[in-house]
Amino acid sequence: MTIEPIDAYREIDPTLPTVVVLATGGTIAGEGSIGKATNYRPGQLDVNALVGMAEGAHDIANVRAVQICNVNSDDITAEHWIALARAIDEMAAEPDIDGFVITHGTDTLDETAYFLNLVVKTDKPVVLTGAMRPATATSADGPMNLLQSIALAGSPQARGRGVMVVFSDGIFGGRDVRKISTFQTDAFSASDFGCMGYMIDGEPHFYNTSSKAHTTTTEFEVESIDELPKVAVAYFAIDADPALLDFLVESGARGIVIAGAGSGCYSKAWNDRIVALKDTGVPVVRSSRIGAGMITHDDAYQGNLVRSNDLAPQKAAVLLRLALTRTNDPAEIQAMFDRY
């Protein structure tokens, strides 16, 4: 993978931090009908164009650029995750690089943020951002989000706080952040835990830090893994067919996350099926389709069960995939859910 200078004619300013922008696609790189915010094509513009639109970026950092891929984030795969994490680990070892920004589609940005939060091995800031409006829309939000992300990634105040997301003036923790709107520009929130702080005119203002282990203090890394185990998310609703669970196991899922109702609940029929699957050794994580609040122990539910605690289903799936690279013992996996 090559790191290309964004502007070959621009001299490095030794008084500024050096920030690497790694672009993966998404709406921030999207193009459509001029002025319109919908029915556009994500992942069209390259990283040079994105940085060029973030007016003032060169005044706050020496910006270097890497194009990882240029896709809709619904097409991001574990292969992209591993490539991204390895690129960051490798470049973080360079003393003249101060931080990283990843531009990403917003649909799955919260999953990638959590994955990186669990695996990258650096204290240097890693910041994800994106946009809700394509680059060709009136009042596109991408350039400001990117500018603020570059400022945060270059700030010494941002070191050691885990992977962060900058969106619509907010700084969010990679573990807790979730997308909460299908179209509004203020599209991310950390629900009960709140944002970590604000970005105002290129200055971070921090208020909260997650107490959960991240980056350099986790047992996960990407050096020794080339792929992640397959995990499926099963969404429970009234009359949901429990045969879905058999199908998932038969089709090779090594773990299942249940997006349960309320506090990780599901019908007697699903419970019976999960108990019947016990001998397969496939762990089943109870999480909630509500996406806020805790999942607590409940004797009514049996099987190879793990509680997601407060993690939303898509976040629980990220941790379960990493956990399965180590063990499929439900008690050991539960300890990981308690720690991360």
Name the site residues for ligand ASP (rule: CB under 6 A).
26-27, 42, 72-74, 105-107, 130, 132
- Which residue of this chain has its Cβ atom nearest to ligand ASP in the complex? 105
**Residue closest to 26 by CA, chosen among 83, 67, 87:** 67
Minimum CB–partner distance for residue 148 and ligand ASP (Å): 17
27 is catalytic: yes
Minimum CB–partner distance for residue 299 and ligand ASP (Å): 40
Q: Which is nearer to ligand ASP, 10 or 41 (CB)?
A: 41
Catalytic residue among 18, 24, 27, 136: 27
Minimum CB–partner distance for residue 74 and ligand ASP (Å): 6
Minimum CB–partner distance for residue 145 and ligand ASP (Å): 11
Q: Which is nearer to ligand ASP, 36 or 159 (CB)?
A: 36
* Amino acid at the residue 13: D
- SS3 label, residue 321: helix
Q: Give me the DSSP letters along 172-199.
A: EETTT-EE--SS-SS-EE-GGG--SEEE
Within a 10 A sphere around the Cβ of 121, how many other Cβ atoms? Answer: 17
Q: Which is nearer to ligand ASP, 132 or 274 (CB)?
A: 132
Minimum CB–partner distance for residue 288 and ligand ASP (Å): 23
Distance CA 147, CA 171 (A): 13
Q: Which is nearer to ligand ASP, 70 or 267 (CB)?
A: 70
H runs (alpha helix) in the chain: 47-53, 57-60, 78-92, 109-119, 142-153, 243-250, 268-276, 313-323, 330-339
| Residue 296 structure tokens | 């607590």
Q: Which is nearer to ligand ASP, 129 or 287 (CB)?
A: 129
Distance CA 265, CA 151 (A): 43
- What are 183-191's contacts with CB under 8 Å, separation 24+? 183/37, 183/38, 183/132, 184/132, 185/131, 185/132, 185/133, 185/141, 187/106, 187/132, 188/106, 188/109, 188/110, 191/291, 191/292
The residues annotated as belonging to the active site are 27
